[in-house]
Every structure is written in structure tokens, then in C-alpha cells.
Amino acid sequence: MSNDGKTFFGHPWALATLFGTEMWERFSWYGLRAILATFMVASPAHQGLGLSQETAQAVVGIYGALIYLVALPGGWIADRILGARRSVFWGGFVIMCGHISMAVPVSSPAYVWLGLLLIVLGTGLLKPNISVMVGKLYPEDDDARRDAGFSLFYLGINLGAFFAPIVVGSLAAGDRWHLGFGAAAVGMAFGLLQYTIGGRVSLRGVGDRPEVPLHPHELRRVGLTAAGVAVAVAIALGAWAATGTFTLGRFTAVMTAVIIAVPIAYFGYIMLGAHDLSEDERSRMKAYIWLFAAASIFWMIYDLAPSKLLFFAENNTDLSLFGIPIHAATTQSFNPLFIMIFVPVFAALWVKLGDRVSTAQKFGFALVMVGLSFVVMAMAANLAESGRVSVWWLVLVYLVQVFGELALSPVGLSVTTKLAPRAFKGQMLGVWFIAVSVGDAVGGQTGRLGDVMSEPAYYLLLAAMAIVAGLGLFAFNRKLRAMMAEHHAPPAMPPVR
């Protein structure tokens, strides 16, 4: 796993390959995300889709939700069929094809929807499995170096996330949306090229084969089942369209209901099924369900950045920093910039505080912070009713939100692993990402509230939900800590998104 004895900041050289691949994949993902909503609401005369802001917000929410939901089958495909290494390659290839589809400068939106579908499917293959490969670079007992390696890997994520909105937003300015989509495709192509060339030596033996491969007859059965499901979904959508009642808004509402049903069914299966759970396991799962709901509320607000907050930047702010004009998409770079600045600060803080701060308290703090960020947004929206406001309002909003993310996201996977019943250890790792999926889907639907309330009231309502939920976690902290049997703090790992 080394390349002629070379290392990457003291780590296996293979980490450099994975670092670069993930950086470019995140460049393509965050680049698209930074212009997608504004492209959707732009009129056909400006080369856009002409959707309403509410519908575009719902579509972006479902798009983000599916990205995290398909990580579950993506991990299963790697474990049982392709192996992690091939899953990452083919996932990146499908993502690149999706961006190319969106870059085709035609008036029909069919290429846009095909592109989004391909990006969802490809990300489901790449995203969970490239993280698995990072973990495989280290011996099982080398936790300290593995944690440090993931921190470097996380830096690659945020470097891509920081530069993408600036580059793609600049290229897409002046209604050159497809040029922006093309830049995202080029970014993913760079990632694939580096992964292929660098992986020939440095990744040899890492994730080459599936952990528990399917037998040929099992593989045929899975293929037939997948084909049957795809056909059934296509027939159902076709029949719905034939009735004349199909709209994007209704489709996103149905998808949101389906996504919400997934964790409800899963937790019901765990708690009510005959799995011989011990009393301690049942108690911990009950506590985890509350944390899951809290995390969903957090992501419901936090992941409105590429829709609601992007629209605010575009329509209600004076887009300049230090006298330098910027694009609305550039505001999406504030978040990763603050994350890179404050990750070491919060990591040191959690280590210093140790077990004096519980998981529930960290989640509660995160919810209060994200709620306060929308109190700031309500103030900005109120001022914006009289004219454009300074973009520094959004800088403050993203700063406060990052304080919340660094309290919640790093411990999410850790507490999931800790609280999972023994029979569900492996499966539960993907459940954390379903919380993001639920939050994104529901957040997309909150745009409908704009029909019945003002912008400031909208932000205050969501802020109140988050703050009340956060204060509830503080109030029941002692009870939750007892249910979780929590006597030590989870490791202060950076969040990986």
C-alpha cells in the first residue's frame, strides 16, 4: 500500500490517491449544488427550467435526500458484488456521465433529470465505499493513525467543497448553466483519472474483492429483483403521468413520505421484531431514536443552504465582500471555509471537556445553534423587505451553523455504532445517513410554507422548532444518558459528508 516508500504526510501513499479522488468528487457535487436551484428557477429565456422557488427547493431537497439514502444499497453492492475499489471507480464514472448529461445544451429538461438520476446512483456507489477504503489502509489496532488519516481525508472534502462554488458559479454566470455543469463533469473526470493512475500501485489489494460475495444464483436473483422493481416504478410513474395529475411538487411530496417511512419501518422492525434484544439494547435504541429525530431536525434546516439561503443570496443581498463582487453561488463556500478553520478548535474542545459533555448535550447545542442561525435569517429577511442587505448576514448565519455541525456531525456515526444492538451493528452505520435524508426531504417541503406566511415568520418557525428540540435534549439529558449507559465521550472525529 505504499508507492516506492513514499508517504503522504506520514500516511500510506494510497491516502493521497483517495484524498484527490474525493476532493474532485466533492468538487463536482458541491459545484452542481451551488447552481442547481438557481438554474431551476431561471426562466427558459435565461436557459433555465422556469420552476417556482418552492418546487425547486423541494426538488433539491429530494435530490440531497436520495444521495444519502442510496448509500445503503451502495455499500451492500460493494460488500456483495463489486468490492469497494471497483464500486468507487464505477460510481465516479456514472457521476461523470450524469454531469455530462446535464451539460448538454438542449432545451429539453429530460437530460437534466437523467443527469440527476445518474449522479444519485453514482454517488451511492462512490461515497460510502471510498471512506471504507481509507479505513482499510491501516491495521485494525492503529486507531490513532486511522483517525488522523480520516482528518486529512476530510480536508480533501472541504477543499473541493470550498473551491467548487467559486469556480462553477463563475463559469455559470450569465446564463451559462451548462458550462457550469460541464465544469463539474471535468472535475469528476480529473478524480477518475487520478484514481485510475494512482490506484494501479498504491491501492493494489485494497478493496479489490467483495467481503462476502454472492453466489451466481444469488446474483441472478438480485438482478431480476432489481429489474422488476425498476420496471414496476416506471409503470407506476407512467400510469400516474397518464392520469394528468402528475406534477413535480406532488412527486416530491410522495418521495418525502416514502423517505420518512424508511426509518419508521426500520426502527419498528428492530424494536418489535423477534431479535432477542436485551433490556440494555432496547433502552439504548429508544435513546437513539430521540437522537435520530433531533439530527433530522438539524439537517432539515442546515441543508437549506443550496436552496432557500441561495435564493436569499441571489435576490436579497448585495453580493460583494470587501468591495469585491461575488456570485450568489460563492456564498456556498462560506460553510466549508469555516469548517476547515474550526475543526481543530472543536476537536481540542471536546477532548478537553471529555465526559463532562454528553452526546445529548452536544446534539442539543447543535440544534440551538442552527435555530439561532435562522433567528439571524429572520432579522435579515425583515430588513430585506426594504431593499437588499449586506451578504455579511449570510456569513454570520453560516458561521453559527458550523458551530452546530461540529457539535453534532462528528459524533453521529460514533454514537450510532455505540448504541446499535449487536445483531444490527453493520446495518446501523447507514442509519445515521438516513437522518440526513429525512432532514433534506422534509426541509425541501418547508418551502410550501411561503404560501401562508412571510419570510421572517418562516425562518422564525423553523428556528423555534430547532431551539425547542435542543432545549428538550438538555432537559432530558440525565434520562437519555442513563438510557444510553454513557460514561465516556465519543472520539472527536471530524464529520465526513
pLDDT of 441 > 60? The answer is yes
For residue 467, what are the CA distances in angstroms to 396, 402, 475? Answer: 18, 16, 12
The answer for residues whose C-beta is within 8 angstroms of residue 129's C-beta and 6 or more apart is: 74, 75, 78, 84, 87, 88, 91, 207
Q: Which pLDDT score, from 0 to 100, does residue 1 have?
A: 46
Output 291 or 16, whichever has higher pLDDT: 291
Q: Which pLDDT score, from 0 to 100, does residue 250 have?
A: 95
Q: Which pLDDT score, from 0 to 100, does residue 349 have?
A: 84
Output 489 or 383, whichever has higher pLDDT: 383
pLDDT band at 320 (very low <50, low <70, confident <90, very high): very high
Least reliable range by pLDDT among 17-26, 225-234, 259-268, 482-491: 482-491
**CA distance linking residue 283 with residue 407, whole number of Å:** 24
Residues 78-117 have pLDDT tens digits of 888 888 889 999 999 999 999 999 999 887 899 999 999 9
Percent of residues, the chain, with pLDDT higher than 90: 62
| Mean pLDDT calculated for residue range 402-426 | 82
Phi, psi angle pair for 11, to nearest 5°? -110, 165
| Mean pLDDT calculated for residue range 4-19 | 76
Percent of residues, the chain, with pLDDT higher than 70: 94
Least reliable range by pLDDT among 17-31, 269-283, 294-308: 269-283
Output 269 or 34, whichever has higher pLDDT: 34
Output 449 or 354, whichever has higher pLDDT: 449
Q: Which pLDDT score, from 0 to 100, does residue 140 have?
A: 66
Q: Are the C-beta atoms of 375 and 459 separated by less than 8 Å? A: yes
Q: Which pLDDT score, from 0 to 100, does residue 76 have?
A: 84
> C-alpha cell of 438?
429525512
pLDDT band at 144 (very low <50, low <70, confident <90, very high): low
Q: Which pLDDT score, from 0 to 100, does residue 4 have?
A: 53
Q: 430588513: which residue's cell?
A: 383
Burial (CB count <10 Å: 0-12, 13-18, 19+), residue 209 = exposed
Beta bridge partners of 390: 318
Q: Which pLDDT score, from 0 to 100, does residue 198 have?
A: 83
**CA distance linking residue 33 with residue 358, whole number of Å:** 34
| Mean pLDDT calculated for residue range 391-410 | 94
pLDDT band at 426 (very low <50, low <70, confident <90, very high): low
pLDDT band at 2 (very low <50, low <70, confident <90, very high): very low
Q: Which pLDDT score, from 0 to 100, does residue 84 have?
A: 86
pLDDT of 246 > 90? The answer is yes
Least reliable range by pLDDT among 118-122, 186-190, 201-205, 403-407: 201-205
Q: Give the number of C-alpha atoms closer than 13 A to the C-alpha of residue 263, restricted to the C-beta side.
A: 27
Q: Which pLDDT score, from 0 to 100, does residue 71 have?
A: 85
Q: Which pLDDT score, from 0 to 100, does residue 413 have?
A: 73
Residues 37-61 have pLDDT tens digits of 999 999 999 999 999 999 999 999 9
Backbone CA torsion sign across 470, 474, 476, 477: positive
Find, among 127, 113, 45, 30, the residue nearest to 84 by Cα. Answer: 127
Highest mean pLDDT among 69-78, 82-91, 290-299, 350-359: 290-299
Burial (CB count <10 Å: 0-12, 13-18, 19+), residue 425 = exposed
pTM: 0.90
pLDDT of 431 > 90? The answer is no
Q: Which pLDDT score, from 0 to 100, does residue 46 have?
A: 93
Phi, psi angle pair for 388, to nearest 5°? -65, 145
Question: Is residue 70 classed as helix, strand or coil in its secondary structure?
Answer: coil
pLDDT of 283 > 80? The answer is yes
Highest mean pLDDT among 190-199, 272-281, 384-393: 384-393
DSSP secondary structure of 84-106: HHHHHHHHHHHHHHHHHHHHS--
**CA distance linking residue 368 with residue 39, whole number of Å:** 32
